[in-house]
Amino acid sequence: MKKIDWYIFKDFIFTFFYCIILFTVISVVVDISEKTDDFAKANLSAGFVLKHYYIGFVPFIVAFLFPLFTFIAVIFFTSKLANRSEIIAIIASGTSFNRLLKPYILGGLLLSALLWVGNRKIVPKANEIRTAFEQRYIDTRPLSSGSNNIYMRIDSVSYCGIRYYDTATQSGNGFFMDRLKGTQVAYNLRADNISWDKAGKRWKLSGVIERKINGLREEVKQDTVRRLNFNFTPEDLKKDEYIKARLSTKELRRMVDMEKLRGSEGINDLEVELYRRDATPVTVLILTLIGAILASRKIRGGSGIHLAAGFAIASLFILLDRFSTIFSVKGNLPPVIAAWLPNVLFGLLTYYLYRKAPK
């Protein structure tokens, strides 16, 4: 990298971290103003809230707004360069427009790598702290602990269901399990009640009727109590709206595979989160290039016009991202398309703007 590259690169990174600090402080102040009553009702000290909530909130909000921070930073400092005619001077010196974009690409790749690592390990740990605090002190609405008609796939040939299950008592009734041989049921197990044995870490079944079926022959056994191991625990039956944010990428991928095996509903939400952790860092690079191409042109109105155009594009991107997520979670749009569609469309927009940019 030449001296001019370092000049642009350092200005890019400095402006980016300046935006992060500024917007993070604003976000924390707004969040404090919204949750002050909750903190006061729970009689929490400032030190306790800082240690058990905001230490997790700050990484969450930074990761959430990371692409926007990058976009604003690029537009802000590039617009200043253009208004001071520095871009014109660089191009007039014989530097090509492609060469001018080199420090932007390197800076975008660096920030994309930081976000990619953060999304996989750092942010999930922060979300674990943040969501645990919110569940205990903020979101204190009484929730129903019972679930009706739970069905899942235990392994490749076995299926089970529970008519009613209470997550508070870790018990339920109307349990059944079927094991298939080809297209025929070869084994059936039914129990009046099912509960979790904390000491033995197994499921306790009561009022058990077991059937082994072999063609027209059937063997029936009855037991008052039976303890069995299944590949699910009470945690797997508990509805946790924060679970996808808390898991690392490795844990989330394992959970997606397990839920696919079980045939669970609502798995698209988990898959969109999984794919988005790889798609968002690419978004950072795309928005970096869009910002550089837009703001490098000196126009009447200066930074104000550039920032207005930038916010309009960012808003369009966020809107498209939300729509694709909803169509996947509530509809039939494949999760991988929902996560990557905004990047594909804005990648095409980047190419169009690049072709139209004065060089």
> What pLDDT is attached to residue 304?
66
> What pLDDT is attached to residue 28?
92
From first to last of its 359 residues, what are the pLDDT tens digits of the chain? 688 889 889 989 999 999 899 989 999 999 999 898 888 888 888 899 999 999 999 999 999 889 988 998 898 888 888 888 888 888 888 888 888 889 999 999 999 999 999 998 899 999 999 988 888 888 765 555 567 788 888 888 888 889 988 887 889 999 999 999 888 899 999 999 999 998 888 999 999 999 998 888 889 999 999 999 888 888 777 766 677 888 888 888 888 887 777 766 668 888 998 999 999 999 999 999 998 888 887 766 556 676 777 778 878 888 888 888 888 888 888 999 999 999 999 999 999 888 887 66
Domain ranges of the chain: 3-139+267-356, 155-230
> What pLDDT is attached to residue 40?
87
Alpha-carbon distances, residue 300 vs 77, 172, 175, 200 (angstroms): 17, 70, 72, 74
For CA atoms 268, 185, 231, 223, give the dihedral sign. Answer: positive
SS3 content of the chain, % helix, strand, coil (to 5): 60, 20, 20
> What pLDDT is attached to residue 117?
93
> What pLDDT is attached to residue 225?
92
Q: Calculate the CA 353 to chain-centre distance.
A: 30
DSSP 1-39: --HHHHHHHHHHHHHHHHHHHHHHHHHHHHHHHHHHHHH
H or E stretch covering 294 = helix 267-295
For CA atoms 143, 144, 148, 150, give the dihedral sign. Answer: positive
Could you tell me the pTM of the whole model? 0.77
297: Cβ–Cβ under 8 A, 6 or more apart, which residues?
82, 87, 357, 358
Helix (H, G, I), strand (E, B) or coil at 142: coil
**Phi, psi for residue 219 in degrees, rounded to 5:** -110, 125
- 256-261: list long-range contacts, CB under 8 Å, 24+ apart: 261/153, 261/155, 261/156
**Cα separation of 26 and 46, whole Å?**
18
What tokens appear for 243 in the block? 């679970």
> What pLDDT is attached to residue 151?
83
> What pLDDT is attached to residue 76?
85
> What pLDDT is attached to residue 17?
92
Query: Do residues 87 and 81 make contact, with C-beta atoms less than 8 angstroms apart?
Result: yes
